[in-house]
Amino acid sequence: MNIAVIGTGYVGLVSGTCFAEMGNHVICVDIDEDKIAGLERGEVPIYEPGLSELVLSNHKDGRLNFTTSLEDAVHASRVVFIAVGTPSAEDGSADLSAVFAVAEAIGKAADGPKLIVDKSTVPVGTAAKVKAMASEASAQSISVCSNPEFLKEGAAIEDFMKPDRVVIGAESEDDFELMEELYAPFVRSGKPILRMDPPSAEMTKYASNAMLATRISFMNEIARICSLTSADVSQVRQGMGTDTRIGQPFLYPGIGYGGSCFPKDVQALIHTAGENGYEFRILEAVENVNQRQKILMAEKAVELLGEDLSGKRIALWGLAFKPKTDDMREAPSLTLAEALTSRGAEVRATDPEAMETARAILGDSISYHQDPYEAAEGADALILCTEWNEFRRPDFERLGSVMKRKLILDGRNILSARALAEHGFERHAVGLPPVLPG
């Protein structure tokens, strides 16, 4: 099948590449000439495990191409995916200006029947607006369906190639059949393709992310109570998670969620509720809990090191909002670094992939170090922000030898309490009993 994907950001590039991997002919479109030129040279602008290899192989075999010409891509394609950004506006709503601009451009470029697919995360009712805009600009038959993405950064290729489910919100049997033909190779294992109307598909995306964000914030609240009552949140999590009505995923406490999806999707759903005269109190609480959780380890540092952190050196291990990505959007490390430096602390940071992304945001307010032990040199405390595998089993003897004080604030609860105790560290985590020297 001939496909166009408008937008070569995270969702667009992963989607287009995976469709090409299944034998489709895909043209990815972006207005950024430098990005398109880089992709033509095999330079992938985002870090996602396995993506570069697939981009290179499919481009080499002629199934995946890149252009700045939306018109050429639309002419060559039967199905056109919209995968542009929908960032949060100041009021929390999703900014749909790019989606609507692309919809109108597709309508103007259409030289035959086109199925426009909303892959971008958009509020309920957007598909109808996209159809109206594209149809008004075109004399051709235009139909629109909603096909939300459910990709986890760091595992996006696996998620796309082996989805839990495929959600298709369409209005006609022809559109359902066309989309089911496209996705058939991805659901050979029997995973469902769910048919629904476009508004329900749009709501499914927001509802799914809002539920996952709620589980995270709920467990972070439980962890805080555990810290006050001497309970162990890891044991509580196991007791909860083995209940089949609850399950294990997203019950891990930490220093808050970030990324491109959860924060903006929670805000957008709150805004949608408000537009319809409803106050979404649970999600408002979820958002508030998450913002407070991001400064948890800064509060702990103040408790242990004093209100004035001038002259104190603090190491941050991990900057990206989660492992296996260089994405810094809404990363807890940003809030944490600002809270520490505002109190006078010297912050030395390390991350396997996100250092340059972080530098573009934080500038010289902190220092950056490729070697984690160099980042920890002379540190009064080390805060573990991101649960990269590289940080799970450090050389505790070496770490203790370079730090000024053996104090670790484990924001992801990944370090061994036994190993820390054996090497004389003091450890404070999220909802776990502290490890104290001696």
Catalytic residues: 261
Angle at 205 between CA 199 and CA 211, to 5 degrees: 125
- In contact, 100 and 126? CB cutoff 8 Å: no
Place of tokens 């496209």: 182
Q: Are 340 and 366 in contact (CB under 8 A)?
A: no
Give the SS3 label for residue 94.
Answer: strand
Looking at the DSSP assignment, which residues form a beta bridge with residue 317? 350, 384
Q: How far apart are CA 335 and CA 203, in angstroms?
A: 30
Q: Which residues does residue 114 pair with via DSSP β-bridges, in sequence order? A: 142
Element (H, E) at 39: helix 33-40
Distance from the Cα of residue 245 to its chain's centroid = 26
Residue of 104, 87, 105 whose CA lies nearest to 96:
87
**Closest of 213, 313, 222 to residue 268, by C-alpha:** 213
Q: Which amino acid is at 154?
A: G
C-alpha span between 60 and 57 (Å, rounded): 5
